Amino acid sequence: MIALNLEEPFQEYHFVDLNNLKVSELEKIAAERNDVFTYTGDCNDILPHKVLPLVDYKKYRRALCILDPYGLHLNWNIIKTAGEMKSVEIFLNFPIMDINMNVLKHDQSKVAPEQVARMNAFWGDDSWRNVGYVQAKQQSLFGDETKENTSNEELEKGFRKRLKEVAGFKYVPEPMPMRNSNNAVVYYLYFASQRPVAADIIKYIFKKYSNWGNS
């Protein structure tokens, strides 16, 4: 509703959701508009085939893509494609709580294979292991080196570096931690762009709200 009621609107709006009831509500809200397009399904399939091809850099088309997965349900290919297109800016919720609960366990043998697969798909490969774990300084009683979890901040830095060096976004400000009622960080909100002016605006906004919810 906020996006649809901007004083300076976008030319088109494309909404994607797995839940057909939510999509139906969107269609009711935008029933009288011809600039709103809705899709029921997985954004990992719909974005690269139906939406992102519309944003042709050579045709001077530009887009803002808001990626808000409930958890590790987004494929890295979407992020990398947006970066390579040079015409798309993104907001992305990085689900750090889901990662900590299901992937970055101290005992890696207890991590289910499907959780590892989700993390690999979101990160793009398994290099997250080099960021999420570090070698412990001490060896175990059996002489084996053990690994310790890194901090949320280290994982956040690693993903931000990946957005720049692998996805190809030139400007990726420090993300804003999004906290729940217990003051725990649930997501990191990233912004990634090819334009310095956009990054400067977001830096200002993130700084303004950096302590929101942090008691």
Over residues 190-200, the pLDDT tens digits come to 999 999 999 99
Distances (CA, A) of 187 to 26, 84, 124: 25, 24, 18
At 138, the pLDDT band (50, 70, 90 cuts) reads: very low
Region 35-48: what's the mean pLDDT? 96
User: Among candidates 196, 193, 117, 192, which has minimal Cα distance to 160?
Assistant: 192
Q: How many CB atoms lie within 10 A of CB 72?
A: 20
Which pLDDT belongs to residue 136? 42
State the chain's mean pLDDT as an integer.
Answer: 90
Cβ–Cβ < 8 Å for 57, 28? no
User: Among candidates 94, 147, 152, 149, which has minimal Cα distance to 123?
Assistant: 94
- Count CA atoms closer than 13 A to 145's CA, side-chain side: 6
Site of tokens 């797995």: 18
Region 99-118: what's the mean pLDDT? 92
Cβ–Cβ < 8 Å for 19, 43? no
Among 46-55, 120-129, 142-151, 171-180, the range scoring the smallest mean pLDDT is: 142-151
Site of tokens 């709580």: 97
Rg of the chain (C-alpha set) = 19
pTM: 0.89
Distance separating the N- and C-terminal Cα atoms of the chain: 29
Site of tokens 């808001």: 66
- CA–chain centroid gap for 28, Å, is 28
Instruction: Tell me the two tokens of residue 35.
Output: 């600039």
**Confidence check: pLDDT of 32 > 60:** yes
Among 101-110, 175-184, 191-200, the range scoring the smallest mean pLDDT is: 101-110
157: CB partners within 8 A, 6+ apart: 131
Residue 139 CA to residue 136 CA, distance in Å, equals 7
Strands (E), the chain: 13-17, 36-40, 63-67, 88-94, 133-139, 145-149, 176-179, 185-192
At 66, the pLDDT band (50, 70, 90 cuts) reads: very high
